[in-house]
Amino acid sequence: MNAQTKIEPGADIIVAVEATPQIVLLDAEKFDLFYDRVRAETAGIVVDLSTKKGRDEVRAMAAKVTRSKTMIDKAGLALTKSWRDQTTQVNAARKEIETKLDALADEVRRPLTEWEETEKARVALCQTTIDAFKRAAVVTLEDTAATVRERGKEVWVQEIDPAQFGDMLDEAVAAKDTAVVSLKAALARLMREEEERAELEKLRAEKVEAERIEAERIATEEAAQRAAEEVQRRQEEAAAAEKAKADREAEIAAQAEQRAKDDAERAAQVERDRIQREHDEAIAAERRRAEEAEAAMQAERDRVAKVEVDRQAAIAAEAAEQAKRDKNRAHRSQIMGEAKIAIMAAGKALHEDAAIAIVKAIVAGQIPHVTLRF
């Protein structure tokens, strides 16, 4: 049958075009009839994007329209080789057919395209929430118990809608749980450190108070000593006034009093030396205890910091490995998709499911001498 094949009344234009695609290239009426029949087929699809089967039906119908375009386009190329005198007419028909069928394919696929765009936006929003959980889990040196507590409240009240997250639900729940655990641990650590700092401040204040009391005690003792010296001076003046009329007994009494005074002064000095020594020893012991407590707190802070650094390194390594696996899966999926399209184009009327099965068989090594290079 050539391009001028007649279509008998009642014959199926689609069957005729599949048998001889050239018939619609030089006969606009036949193409209009063919286009109307194809459009009627597409109009009969019940679009249901809520199920995979419904999305696959829309995708398959759009692919079928595209295959019709490719089939007719190839027929047109064949005509231009054999009918050079009809090149202009054929090319014009090809352009019109391509434009109309492309528009029809886009129209048929539009509900699926809109669904895919909505799905992409949903995934991006879910990923933003997951990333926010991961950022919240990181505790920096600038954080305090108050900032960690506030961030923990924000993470805790963040709801994860299973219907919205879909297949990302497990990742979102895991990211939130990790953030909650990390923030709880950081809050406990920061509260403990703040309590330790408060205790250290208390010890320092107590030390200052003890030094103040000691200074007051010394000042009191010095005042008492000055008062005693004043009494002594007055007694000596009185004794000097009476010395003129005193006899040897008064002189002996004065000497005895002097000896008693010397003994009392030596005893007082011994007591002062003992009190000062005990005071110095108490201050030294308190200083040692404070230094030991500070060293213990620093060791604990160093240990917690190392644990956090190790944990962050492990998280970063796992994220890098996961990104590598995701990239490899996307690359393999792209190569297999391109192979499927090429097989469908070569097989003309070959169904998409059959093309997918062929690609999978090649990847599995079930077809001798044929491989895919990823």
Give the model's pLDDT for residue 85.
63
| CB-facing half-sphere around the CA of 295: CA atoms within 13 A | 6
Name the band, by pLDDT with cuts 50, 70 and 90, for residue 84: low
Give the model's pLDDT for residue 18.
85
d(CA 43, CA 329): 36
Average pLDDT over residues 227-240: 80
More confident residue, 123 or 84: 123
Q: Inter-axis angle of helices 248-346 and 52-82, to 10 degrees? A: 50
Write the pLDDT tens digit of every residue in 174-189: 888 888 888 888 888 8
* Nearest by Cα to 119 from 55, 179, 171, 213: 55
Write the pLDDT tens digit of every residue in 188-215: 888 898 888 888 888 888 888 888 888 8
Average pLDDT over residues 85-94: 72
* Lowest pLDDT segment from 16-30, 85-99, 126-140, 252-266: 85-99
Mean pLDDT for the chain? Answer: 83
d(CA 165, CA 345): 37
Domains of the chain, residue spans: 13-121, 137-295, 315-374
The 3-state DSSP class for residue 364 equals coil
Average pLDDT over residues 317-338: 86
Name the band, by pLDDT with cuts 50, 70 and 90, for residue 337: confident
**What are the DSSP calls for 332-346, one per residue?**
HHHHHHHHHHHHHHH
Residue type, 54: G
Give the model's pLDDT for residue 190.
82
Name the band, by pLDDT with cuts 50, 70 and 90, for residue 3: very low
Q: Tell me the pTM.
A: 0.36
Give the model's pLDDT for residue 86.
60
Structure tokens at 250: 């008064």
d(CA 309, CA 299): 15
More confident residue, 349 or 203: 203
d(CA 257, CA 106): 126
* Lowest pLDDT segment from 29-38, 65-74, 76-85, 113-122: 76-85
Give the model's pLDDT for residue 244.
65
Give the model's pLDDT for residue 253.
75
The 3-state DSSP class for residue 296 equals helix
